Amino acid sequence: MDALIKSIRPNKLSDGKSADPRTPESKIPEGRPGELDPSEFLAAAVRADQPRPSRAEAEQAVHTLLNYIGENPGREGLLDTPRRVVEAFDELYQGYHQSPAEVLNRTFGETAGYDDFVLIRDIEFTSQCEHHMMPFYGKAHIAYTPVERVVGLSKLARLTDIFARRLQTQEHLTAQIAAAIDEILKPRGVAVMIEAEHTCMSVRGVAKHGALTFTSRFTGMFRDNPAEQSRFLSMVRAAQR
């Protein structure tokens, strides 16, 4: 289930040698974990000029799937189903047409010298597993330590929804949220933890209802300082007691 993460900062010095003297050049990894291509978190995923099937073609695809499962698309209860499904897709996957960078582009400087991290806990979300196109849902907990300027609190919830309303893995969703905040706001550090239940695991396959998956990503001071990680996790878990 590991997300494919592309490198934008090769782990080499300008002379081509390893940045880490303990790592032989022949064993230098192609990329460092957690560094995504900026196109994944700075702009909308779908360009205005990108070719797409028509709505009629999309509805016909739903009609075909109804036939595939053995249904009769001509019966009364299913006559309008292709249209409804395509309209639902427009809502569920609207994140492809939204720009994460635009959500975070307005910041505020009136912080009175605030120098601790800002935590928003229990951001509820629903996303769709890219492997089975089945929902997974849960909560995101996000913290960042600002440098002079802060972003509106609702913007972090909107950022979560943009990435969640795309086909996803939980690992990739976690990495994208952290990378966007880190790159756009340039704080001293970012911490993201996501807990979610996956219906592709709870209602099919092993059918283990209630099993939760936890993922986390730390950058900057949260990555480098275990005490800050612990404080973040302690504050997140305080609401669960």
* Domain positions in the chain: 103-238
Cα 124 to chain centroid, rounded: 13
- pLDDT given at position 207: 80
Positions annotated as catalytic residues are 129-132, 170, 198, 200
pTM of the model: 0.82
Q: What is residue 44's predicted lDDT score, i.e. its pLDDT?
A: 86
- Predicted confidence at residue 27, as pLDDT, reads 45
- pLDDT of 33 reads 47
Among the listed residues 116, 160, 115, 167, the one whose alpha carbon sits nearest the alpha carbon of residue 142: 160
DSSP, residue by residue, 16-68 = SSBSSTTS-GGG--SS-TT---GGGTSS-SS-TTS----HHHHHHHHHHHHHH
Instruction: Look at residue 150 in the predicted model and tell me its pLDDT.
Output: 92
pLDDT value of position 16: 43
Q: Which of 70, 3, 82, 72 is nearest to 41 (CA)?
A: 3
Predicted local confidence at residue 20, as pLDDT:
42
Q: What is the pLDDT of residue 94?
A: 95
Fold of 103-238: GTP Cyclohydrolase I, domain 2 (3.30.1130)
So what's the pLDDT on residue 13? 41
Q: Which regions in the chain score pLDDT beneath 70?
A: 1-35, 239-241
